[in-house]
Structure 1
Amino acid sequence: MNNAPLYVVGLGPGDARCLTPQARAALDRAQCIAGYQLYLDLTPPELLRGKTVISTGMRHEEERCAAAVDAALAGRPTALVCSGDPGVYALAGLALETLEARDLLDRVPLNVVPGVPAVCAAAALLGAPLTHDFACISLSDLLTPWETIQRRLSAALEADFVCVIYNPRSKGRPYQLGQALAEARRFRRPGCPVGLVRKAFRPGQEVSVHALADFDESRVDMLSLLIIGNSESRALGPYLLTPRGYANKKRS
């Protein structure tokens, strides 16, 4: 039996209209689809119909990847689905590691199918917060020591990057966002704009812009993404703008 391909598919932010044609085609070709239940719920139902569906809970990523690889080895084209883009805090890396550990890199064809990352979805809703250099940092310390996360965040803030905060606050670690915002206040003016996007392109979507000095962290959960501006960023009503520098070019 020939080994079938393994697709690692980015679903984008969750709205079917944000699913790329390439991702839809991969899901259509797949006979087996594996994913965290929340991500399966974001998959258009017609693309799941009549297929084997492998569902696992949160923090069972290794089990999920192993099951998807096994399905491909059994000759069934398989899609491992992720929200956003599979290469951004998602399962493209673990899929490769799984194939490497099992000596299957030459036996199972791997196709990473890009999706609209959460950061791009949030940026679009906020206007133009990322038109200059930015850094993405996850506050989740499940796989990365908190001291490492703090060091990276401090370096990015000091270097005046716009800072995109993934996984900002959960019930199990409610204190970390407060520490991150305190660090931001060391390097940013009180009025520095902070964009908050929750459930981007999903029912219940929330988009708002706040001043760093009085930002209420209790508004934030794991369905949220935070964008902290740099020294040039400014709020324009409901929008957050980080200028690229065209105005300065005209003056020079």
Structure 2
Amino acid sequence: MSGKLAVVGLGPGDARYLTREALAALDEADALYGYGPYLDRVAPRSGQVRHPTGNREEGARARAALAHAARGAKVAIVSGGDPGVFAMAASVCEEMAAGPPEWRALDMRIVPGVTAMLAVASRAGAPLAHDFCALSLSDNLKTWELIERRLAAAAEAGFVIALYNPVSQARTWQLAHAFTLLGRHLPGATPVIFGRAVGRTGEGLVVTTLAEASAIAADMATLIIIGSRETRVLARDGKAPLVYTPRAVSSVPA
């Protein structure tokens, strides 16, 4: 019997962000694998076995799920947000490439989800309406020197920048350094959005400027969007401001 493996994006939090395809893939699975807090977001189903694992155990999680599916089971690996954006889909592909031939023969699909930068952007307005990029600030899998080069290049090219993984218990200084670096390429008045736990209980949104951004607390549940030189903040009486980037841009300063 041929097994199946689905890598399922849960979106940013609440079940209302789950797509119909994701719900169907979760319901079909005999077994679920995932980071414990992500598995907790999935409603239990009778007869379905769960295999929670800790953070930063992506490779081991992917190997276990692949081996389980190769035995003929229908398996789903859950991932926060979209599984292809700094998440589980790449780990599954990497382990499949390095593993036995039967893993590559599996019926495998990747089910998209709403990634954090889209959830935060929708709360704030339309900051991603023009060209943008997404960068992980984690230097666990790449050097800090490379991160700095990419930040500078993105700012100079006029991209709005979405920052994933801005802070962790082991990475406490990188975010402040990133803001300092970006301040060499962008005006201090550039809008910056901090979205924390958007789509979950206790979500918060703060709109500030690049000059003031270092004073705002962030953690691994925070997604940060740094505007370009074109990004604007539209004040509204009695309502939250709207942050947007115009669709038309004439040029990028040399």
Query: So what's the TM-score if we normalise by structure 2?
Result: 0.92
Question: Where does residue 30 of structure 1 map in the other structure?
Answer: 29
SS in structure 2 at match of 1:94:
helix
State whether structure 2 residue 58 is matched by structure 1 residue 55: no
SS at match of 1:55: strand
Task: Measure how far apart 1:218 and its partner are.
Answer: 4.6
Residue deviations 1:202-235, cap 9 Å, x none?
A: 0000012101111234511110000000011011
Give the % identical residues.
43
**How far 1:71 moved relative to its partner?**
1.2
In the superposition, the TM-score normalised over structure 1's length comes to: 0.93
Residue of structure 1 equivalent to 2:247: 244
Report whether the alignment pairs 1:209 with 2:207.
yes
Query: Tell me, which stretches of 5 or more residues in structure 1 are unaligned?
Result: none
Deviations 1:77-104 (A, max 9, x none): 0000000111100111111121121223
Change (3 A) 1:63 1:217: farther
State how far apart, in whole Å, the 1-side matches of 2:36 and 2:242 are: 33
| 2:171 is the alignment partner of 1:168 | no
| Separation (CA, whole Å) in 1 of partners of 2:188 and 2:162 | 18
The Cα of 1:12 is off from its aligned counterpart by 0.5
Q: Deviation at 1:124?
A: 0.6
Q: Which residue in the other structure is 1:14 paired with?
A: 13
Q: SS of the residue aligned with 2:11? A: coil
Amino acid at match of 2:195: V
User: Separation in 2 of the partners of 1:49 and 1:14?
Assistant: 23
Paired residue type of 1:100? A
Query: Could you list the runs of 5+ residues in structure 2 that have no partner in the other structure?
Result: 236-240
Answer whether contact 2:191 2:226 (CA < 8 A) is retained. yes
Alignment of 1:32-111 (within 5 A): 32-43=31-42, 45-46=43-44, 48-102=45-99, 103-104=101-102, 106-111=104-109
- In the TM superposition, residue 59 of structure 1 has moved relative to its aligned partner by 1.1
Please tell me the residue identity of whatever aligns with 1:109: D
Partner of 1:190: 188
Structure 1 Cα separation of the partners of residues 46 and 13 of structure 2: 18
**In structure 1, the residue corresponding to 2:199 is in which secondary structure?**
coil
Q: Which amino acid aligns with 2:245?
A: T
- What are the residue-to-residue correspondences of 1:102-141 with 2, within 5 Å? 102=99, 103-104=101-102, 106-141=104-139
Q: Note the aligned Cα RMSD (angstroms).
A: 1.4
3-state SS in 2 of match to 1:156? helix
Q: Is the 8 A contact 2:7 2:79 kept in 1?
A: yes
- 2:238 is matched with none
Is the 2:67–2:103 contact (alpha carbons within 8 Å) kept by the matching residues of 1?
A: no
Residue 209 of structure 1 contacts residue 239 of structure 1 at CA under 8 Å; is this kept in 2?
no
Q: Does the Cα contact within 8 Å between 1:178 and 1:217 map onto a contact in 2?
A: no
Q: Distance in 2 between matches of 1:149 and 1:38?
A: 28
Runs of 4+ displaced beyond 3 Å? none
